[in-house]
Amino acid sequence: MDNDAVKGKIDNVINLVKANNPEADTEMIYKAYNLAKEAHKDQKRLSGEDYVIHPVSVAYILAEMQMDTETIVAAILHDVIEDTIYSYDYIKEEFNETIANLVEGVTKIGRIGFQSKEESQAENLRKMILAMSKDIRVILIKLVDRLHNMRTLEYMRETKQIEKAKETLDIYAPLANRLGISTIKWELEDLALKYLDPDGYYDLVHKIKVKKSAREAYIADVIAVLAKEIEKVGTHAEIYGRSKHFYSIYRKMKSQNRSFDEIYDLIAVRVIVDSLKDCYGVLGIVHSQWTPIPGRFKDYIAMPKPNLYQSIHTTVMGPKGEPFEIQIRTREMHETAEYGIAAHWKYKEGRMDAKDNKYEVQMSWLRQMLELQRDSEDAGELVETIKVDLLNEEVYVFSPKGAVVPLPAGSCPLDFAYRIHSDIGNNCVGARVNNKIVPLNSPLKSGDIVEIMTSKNSNGPSRDWLGFVKSPHARNKIKQYFKKEEKDENVQKGRSILEREIKREGLQQSNLLNLNNLELLAEKCSYKTLNDFYAAIGYNGIKIGTVFQKMKLLFPKEFPEEVEEIVLKKPSKEPKKNGSTVIVAGYHEIDVHFSKCCNPVPGDTIVGYITKGRGISVHRADCANVLNLVDPNRIVEVEWNKYSTGSFTAEIHIKAREAQGTIIQISKTFLEMGIPVTALNAKNEKNEYDFFSATFEVKSRRELNLLIKNLNKIKEIIQIYRV
């Protein structure tokens, strides 16, 4: 795609943002676009388009949702940290910390290591939940990123199409629904169906198209009758018809085992009015014109869905005896129904009112998800429980005092009990539903009045309850109970393991097992109490190797190796041209070596560390090992000797689209630049990506950056990062 076409797309984003909010900072959007264009200039999508088309398209969809400027800018930059040389710090300096955090949040969700499929999905879900809890706009960008990728999925191979479509239907569409963003949910579902069952999808498209004109004429007659009656009472209303989405029809056909010809309510009429009072006034008009079908009336205004959705739904027998659905809502309800949590960012330019009750409802759900992911140590269990929470339909039951309690469909009285309070669940001995005593595993239905009977003499929950509770919240609380019950056993086991390993290492037990030192160690390992720490060791919640790493940082003197005494010679005024590569605190000709954990090269900002027996170890200043050091007295200032020459080891990891010949192109780039390669390894993760690691010798950071720039010209390469 030529530059004019790309420029036209960003202009469309700017124009839409201005239309939504004339006071928006469009200069910052242009600045983000110019950075993204530069960062992605040598990258192409599978479609052959310039890569920058993707982030600009994501930004345009978010602009259609009337999102704030910071979200638009972060969307344009959302692949910059992951796929290019630009860093979090650079974006923070050039824009602001909020935008940098949004970009990093989106990047972290997609950055999965070499794990099993189940572990990767679980880790991705954990990252999504954590990102949402910090700033929910991260997940809005990620949802729209997935939406645009699904729109262009045709360019991927079939196996990858199916994998992405299934993940979209399992996670992303339900997540959009849970956040109330129906516009994204519907399109994701339809696009996923297109690749998961193409025959069923296109057959449905054809059948709907055949009768489209007849249905539109029918609905036009209905709208004309309704508009006339509403006008008579002086109510202002916007009325229009909308077709049911393909996946909605497809799912109904499958779940009810019905053919297409047996699905009648393919079109719904939507009425948008000015006030709550008008909603019920219009409902009366509708029921006076057409006969309501029993059991097909739902008042989501009185009982909103957990995703904030509010509307009245009623299905009536229309002209010619054909049923159709009518939805009635206010303008504010409509915006929330279309854009969910995103509607609350409209025009606010990144500022969310903490007192917004609807926003707080979503935050309450996120807090439950955070608790779930913290307490779940099994990857498969986490994936399944979150899927249950996202995918399940809800039932709405009442407490004896009339409070509405939403629960997953199929929930039993125990789910209700734990939703009220964990103590009520743990001490539950019976339940009444609609004033009748029922078994604790009895399924609840909407409208049931549920009363829980408790006893102080209860023996606590039964493990059998895990077999029939439906909500992840109840399941989590029951498991927590048994984990606590088993804690004493795990505390003793963990204490024995720690004592045994300290003895096996030949360390001084009297010092390391001192109570004060143990409590300090537990705190360093993020446990509130020593018993929590012991218990975690006992049930393998923390590895003993991790414990010893923390122990070495806290109590280095307890470990046998001593810090080498280094005698520094008096410095000369100028470093010698043939002297040491690195000058230590103004000195040279000192025993130094370069750390293999970060492989610094001339041009990097560096620090020195006094090692145990090997002189000064030189690290990059941003090296994680240096940042985690607890003894600042062993850090010394170092700088590069400007006269030094020679080669330095560097290592990079490369992520590329699966294609034959990529490794040859990588090798050719090294050869053409005259850079010696000591190791080049390839790994395929049974998906569309290949992963390469390369170890080589360079003279400077400048040469390394030039190498990365040249490698990025290989169209299959998606991401390069330095180790």
Under 8 Å between Cβ of 166 and 192: yes
The model carries a pTM of 0.56
Closest CA to 707 of 716, 715, 698, 719: 698
pLDDT of amino acid 439: 92
pLDDT of amino acid 614: 64
Write phi, then psi, for 256 (nearest 5 degrees): -105, 5
Rounded CA separation 703/670 (Å): 11
Rounded CA separation 62/337 (Å): 16
Rounded CA separation 413/405 (Å): 11
Domains of the chain: 3-196 (1.10.3210.10), 205-344 (3.30.460.10), 392-475 (3.10.20.30), 487-558 (no CATH), 648-722 (3.30.70.260)
pLDDT of amino acid 120: 54
56-91: buried (b, 16+ CB within 10 Å) or exposed (e) per residue?
bbbbbbbbebbbbbbbbbbbbbbbbbbbbebeeeeb
Rounded CA separation 16/315 (Å): 37
pLDDT of amino acid 568: 41
DSSP H helical segments within 313-378, as ranges? 331-339, 357-375
Look up residue 309 and give its amino acid.
Y
User: How many Cα atoms within 13 Å fall on the side-chain side of residue 24?
Assistant: 28
Residue 218 parent element (H or E): helix 212-232
Can you read off the two tokens belonging to residue 1? 């795609």
Closest CA to 636 of 597, 592, 683: 592
3-state secondary structure of 519: helix
3-state secondary structure of 366: helix
DSSP assigned state of 569: P
Q: Is the dihedral of CA 177, 181, 186, 192 positive or negative?
A: negative
Can you read off the two tokens belonging to residue 171? 């996670």
Closest CA to 638 of 602, 608, 600, 614: 608
Catalytic residues: 82-83
Mean pLDDT by 10 residues, the chain (723 residues): 69 90 89 90 84 92 90 92 80 91 80 43 58 75 93 89 88 82 91 93 88 84 92 92 86 84 80 93 93 87 80 88 90 86 55 47 54 49 52 74 80 93 92 92 87 89 87 83 78 87 74 84 85 82 76 74 40 46 66 80 85 75 66 74 80 83 86 86 68 88 89 86 82
User: What is the side-by-side order of every strand in the sheet holding 648-657?
Assistant: 677-684, 689-698, 648-657, 717-722
Can you read off the two tokens belonging to residue 618? 């030189």
User: What is the side-by-side order of every strand in the sheet holding 291-299?
Assistant: 237-243, 267-273, 323-330, 312-317, 291-299
pLDDT of amino acid 630: 46
Rounded CA separation 688/252 (Å): 33
Look up residue 144 and give its amino acid.
V
Rounded CA separation 44/51 (Å): 5
